[in-house]
Chain A
Amino acid sequence: MNKLSGFSLLEILVALLIISLITLLSSDMLSNLSQWKSLSHAAQDRLKVELLFKTLRADISAATKKPTGQKRIYLTENKNGSVEILLSKPVISPSSGGIKVVDVVWKFTDKAVLRNLDNSKAPLKVDLLSGAYDVKKIDNNIFYFTLQTRNYGLSQILDVR
């Protein structure tokens, strides 16, 4: 007589028990999976902006000065809400190894932040979902710069003294 192939009732019950245990343990993970994904993307985007702000601080700190002693930094707020920062700073020339002064242009628009060093053909660019900027003067040559996106807001003091 041919033996029927397949699982026995006991085997099926044990397997179902294990599956339900695994599902129970991972239910939190499954329900939070999409939330985790969006959180992770938001954190990565924010991290990029934090790094940009850190670079901006370093650029401002290294900016060359006018004969009056004030830093050579020009900050422009455009009517469309974008902000531009133009400064010059010394860098080490990769070709000669000497020090040269180059222009650095920062452009903050609603869609992206761009940093162009010495008219580079490939500027540093970080895309934003939606960016709104606010520049508030708090003292002579000191500005409070705030970037507000859909998910977060970041403030940074620009000390252009």
Chain B
Amino acid sequence: MIDSKLRPKAFILLEVLISLSILGIAIGLFWQSRAAENHFHSNILERYAAERFEHDLKILAELNLYDQIYMPGYSPLKDASVKQIELQIKRIKTNRIGLDFE
């Protein structure tokens, strides 16, 4: 029988390694979840901006007032020609939210 007074009162290397590995995995998962959250937010905001832009552009097109569009009010859509913006919207619509990580 081992005398309890002789047992070392410290962690063994394996214990330290396991706890550090768990810490590393936890930090990695946290970092990934934060990155995914940001990506998800920007994707959703892009979609809402595109929806607003389409609604407004339809009205302006009806009145032939394309030039009145105020692009900074539709960020994160980039300032570009109407055709390029239409392409942007098409890309946003075909993206699957949260699954298109680069």
Report if A and B associate in a common complex: yes
Residues of A within 8 A of B (CB): 2-3, 5-7, 11, 14-15, 18-19, 22, 25-26, 29, 33, 36, 39-40, 43-44, 46-47, 50-51, 53-54, 57, 138-139, 142, 144, 146, 152-157, 159
A65 to chain B, nearest CB (A): 17
Q: Which residue of the partner chain A has the closest CB to B51?
A: A54
A18 to B31, CA, bound (A): 18
A138 to B45, CA, bound (A): 26
On whether the beta carbons of A43 and B8 are closer than 8 Å, the reply is: no
On whether the beta carbons of A159 and B17 are closer than 8 Å, the reply is: no
Question: Which one of B31, B37, B52, B60 contacts A53 once the chains associate, using CB atoms below 8 Å?
Answer: B52
Task: Label chain B's interface by main secondary structure.
Answer: helix
A89 to chain B, nearest CB (A): 18
Q: Which residue of the partner chain A has the closest CB to B32?
A: A29
Interface residues on B, range: 35 or more
On whether the beta carbons of B73 and A146 are closer than 8 Å, the reply is: yes
On whether the beta carbons of A156 and B20 are closer than 8 Å, the reply is: no
0/1 per residue, B7-32, Cβ < 8 Å to A? 01111010011001001100110110
Question: Which one of A18, A26, A156 contacts B17 once the chains associate, using CB atoms below 8 Å?
Answer: A18
On whether the beta carbons of B37 and A40 are closer than 8 Å, the reply is: yes
Contacts of B6 in A (CB 8 A): 2-3
Contacts of A50 in B (CB 8 A): 45, 48-49, 52
B65 interface hit (Cβ, 8 Å): yes
- Which of A3, A51, A157 has the most chain B CB within a 10 Å cutoff? A157
0/1 per residue, B21-58, Cβ < 8 Å to A? 00110011011001001100110110011011001100
